[in-house]
Amino acid sequence: MLKKRIIPCLDIRDGRTVKGVNFLDLRDAGDPVELAKRYVEQRADELVFLDITATIEKRKALAELVSRIAAEIYIPFTVGGGIETIEDAEVLIRAGADKITVNTSAFRNPALITRIAKQFGRQCVVVAIDTAFVSNEWTVFIEGGRTPTKSKALDWALKAESFGAGEILLTSMNTDGTKSGFSIEITRDVVRSLNIPVIASGGAGNPEHFREVFSKTNCSAALAASIFHYGEIAIPELKAYLLARGINVRI
């Protein structure tokens, strides 16, 4: 059985790590290079770096910062933000990214998923899906959660897989930053319907939330930010908690 992964996420704005609630009210969470080094020491399984304003500001992700982080870590490193072409992806992979995550650009042009997968391998392509429960259904949002679409999260996840996505990063905007727990229903539905790994994101507040999402949805990984950044949960303690409760994690 594959071990479940614990993944800290660095949301980057103006070169600093930030975190908000429901994608709003961002506050500083520290230097991304120092945080990345800390998470390697704490035995995080992977690291995600999201330049959260790159798409809105119509610029590319911060390749120089990616290079600095990559030089300090040896765990798998996923990078996203402003990736619109195969050349954008190549710049970040050359800077040290192991995987590329695409969101708005992939939604608007799913063929980008296929091109990146063909160039670098399917395992390199993570499609990030931001979704919120609106009018009794899980709706896809793009442009950093600012713009609703007419697509349902499950439909888009299935389409992304068909175009070559190797993994889905599913974030519930309803619970993001609230520390009230992951959105189990939509995570479970996406996991059951796809044949690729799904990373659950949005809502982690305590170790029990991780146990719940792993045991109730069979997701491959769980991602969190503020609880790690602000020292509310140490990754070794979280993994020990999960292991003691029958969740297969890497110590």
The secondary structure of residue 14, as a DSSP letter, is T
With residues binned 3-state (H G I as helix, E B as strand, rest as coil), the percentages for the chain, rounded to 5, are: 35, 30, 35
d(CA 193, CA 239): 27
Place of tokens 């930053």: 177
- Which residue, 150, 147, 196, is CA-closest to 169? 196
Residues that are catalytic? 11, 130
- Which residue, 248, 223, 227, 228, is CA-closest to 78? 223
3-class DSSP state for residue 65? helix
Query: How many CA atoms lie less than 13 Å away from 223 in the CB half-sphere?
Result: 24
